[in-house]
Amino acid sequence: MELENLIKGLDVESLSAPGRGEVSRVCYSADQCVPDSVFVAIPGLRYDGHDFIGEAIGRGARYIVHEREWTPPAGTVSIRVADSRRALGILAKNYFGNPSAALTVIAVTGTSGKTTTTYLLESIFSGAGFNCGVLGTVNYRFNDTLYPAPNTTPESYEMQKILREMADGGVTHVIAEVSSHAIDLKRVDDCDFDLGVFTNLSSEHLDYHLTMESYYQAKKRLFAEVLPKSKKKHLRKMIVNADDKWGKRILDEVAAPALTYGFGQTCDVKIGAYRLSLDGIDASLDLNGETISVHSALIGKFNLYNIAAAAAASVVLGLPPAVIRSGVEKLSSVPGRLEKIGTSFGAYVFVDYAHKPDALTQVLQNLSQLKQKKIITVFGCGGNRDRLKRPMMGQAATHYSDLTIITSDNPRREDPMAIIQEIEQGVDREKIQKVPAGDLRAFSEGRLYTVIPDRRRAIETAVFSAKPGDIILIAGKGHEDYQILGDQKIDFDDRVVAREFLSRREALS
């Protein structure tokens, strides 16, 4: 691509040579540079791309986009900008030919429910005959192509690259989980979204955002700044949970038409009568004037909200109620989202991604309403992440569970026992008794908790401690098929491990 076409729309502060020349590639990692490439030096969270300009030039980069003062050597062009991270998005959009303009693109944001809502939308859209692509926490996928997801939302360059691949592959509709990090770091500023869906907001990522207000402002930015730039023609681009207090703030503070969903009588998509069980959800939905009845294999009231969110987005896109109902009913499960692993020997076993206090609370609240006998919860907290949530997770788990097994999640570079001790600070010792891991005979009386740092042994203990009618919840890692110990990533999938011990338990019955 010609440089002058590549830098269109870029807020260039200075250019050391005429903006002409053939560009071979756009890179923001120096080791990806080749002759005649553009290298974008981005100040990152751990490293600063400006420190790698020399390496980029050594690999052949000819054009350097940068923020800091820098004198280019002979044969190299300096392109100075105020915000190189923002510049990367513009360059990527130009380089890949603005692919989102040719696609229907839906952004789903919020603390909880993003993944399930995207799976519901994928099911509905596929039933409508659309060719879908999905970008999210579990993976990035379209047609027969599947990429691992290093981030919930890709960096702006990868975002535009994947969207181009999707458009070229015949994809018509893309559903993207959009994280607060991605919004704050401007990864999605150059996507032409059709709709933005807001699910809810609760305490999370405060190690990054520091305060709930800052976290909220990052989410709000999608609706207040990113969506208004979209050239798509839908009258209402905002789909908002009107029952959520932060959703109400968005509705009050963002001057744009919205379609609302929830239980409130003024909601455009209203949740009516419903019944919840361990077999799923039966509910009626008023879709802006037309009522449908749906059955979903998903479990819990929070999933009823996710269903309403997906239905509301589908209404804006003009999909018939029958298509919406069919799409909801065809989705049998979502990887690692209250995923039912089995009902061996009469116990119900679920794996869920809940790794924050509100998510764990919601899952356990819903299971508490459905339980026949007792709830056994296995969970831990990740290392090198938000420490403030650890005691809150301990409080939530032990408050709703009859037996809580505190274990390791992804300890990373932290001492697993130090993490567990911080979790224990949230346990009400006057109400919850701690028992040795090897002596759970007292499980029949009162609420108990124990500590088993080895996650595999913790799951084994849960399975062999359960009785018919009990519920086992293995929380925190969900769809993840690895565990991070120090700087090592080892194979570990809660679902695989649970099935292994369920089979052993069944063989002994």
Read off the pLDDT of residues 454-481 as tens digits, 9 standing for 90 and up. 999 999 999 999 999 999 999 999 999 9
- When pLDDT is averaged across residues 39-60 and rounded to a whole number, the result is 94
Q: What is residue 112's DSSP assignment?
A: S
Predicted confidence (pLDDT) at residue 444 exceeds the cutoff of 80: no
Interior angle at CA 278, CA 479 and CA 247, nearest 5: 65
Quick one: which of 191, 9, 160 has its CA closest to 92?
A: 160
Structure tokens at 192: 């032409």
Q: What are phi and psi of 298, to 5 degrees?
A: -70, 155
Predicted confidence (pLDDT) at residue 262 exceeds the cutoff of 80: yes
- When pLDDT is averaged across residues 388-410 and rounded to a whole number, the result is 96
pTM of the model: 0.91
Interior angle at CA 393, CA 389 and CA 395, nearest 5: 120
Could you give the CA distance from residue 81 to residue 85 in angstroms, rounded to a whole number? 10
Least-confidence region, from 61-65, 369-373, 380-384, 435-439: 435-439
| Residue 442 pLDDT | 53
Interhelix angle for 494-508 vs 455-465, to 10°? Answer: 40
Predicted confidence (pLDDT) at residue 509 exceeds the cutoff of 90: no
| Residue 38 pLDDT | 98
Contacts of 390 (CB under 8 A, 6+ apart): 381, 419, 422, 423, 425, 426
Q: Within 106-224, where are the H helices? A: 114-127, 156-168, 180-184, 206-209, 212-221
Could you give the CA distance from residue 195 to residue 193 in angstroms, rounded to a whole number? 6
- When pLDDT is averaged across residues 230-251 and rounded to a whole number, the result is 94
| Residue 441 pLDDT | 63
| Residue 288 pLDDT | 87
- Per-residue DSSP letters for 394-437? HHHHHHH-SEEEE--S--BTS-HHHHHHHHHTTS-TTTEEE--T
Q: In 41-189, where do the E strands start and end?
A: 63-66, 77-81, 104-109, 132-135, 140-142, 145-147, 173-177
Higher pLDDT, 358 or 418: 418
| Residue 352 pLDDT | 96
Contacts of 76 (CB under 8 A, 6+ apart): 57, 61, 62, 63, 64
3-class secondary structure, 52: helix
Burial class (CB in 10 A: 0-12, 13-18, 19+), 117: buried
| Residue 210 pLDDT | 81
Q: What is residue 382's DSSP assignment?
A: -
| Residue 401 pLDDT | 97
Residue 42 CA to its chain's centroid (Å): 24
- β partners of residue 65: 40, 79
Contacts of 328 (CB under 8 A, 6+ apart): 120, 123, 124, 294, 296, 307, 310, 311
357 and 392 in contact (C-beta within 8 Å)?
A: yes
- When pLDDT is averaged across residues 202-211 and rounded to a whole number, the result is 76
Predicted confidence (pLDDT) at residue 508 exceeds the cutoff of 90: no
pLDDT exceeding 90 applies to what percent of the chain?
89
Could you give the CA distance from residue 266 to residue 118 in angstroms, rounded to a whole number? 25
Residues in the chain: 509
Q: Kind of pairing, strands 140-142 and 195-198? A: unpaired
Residue showing tokens 């992440």? 385
| Residue 407 pLDDT | 98
Quick one: which of 74, 91, 89 has its CA closest to 3?
A: 91
Q: Letter for the amino acid at 83?
A: D
**Structural domains of the chain sorted by starting position, each given as residue range(s) with its CATH number in brackets:** 3-95 (3.40.1390.10), 99-330 (3.40.1190.10), 339-508 (3.90.190.20)
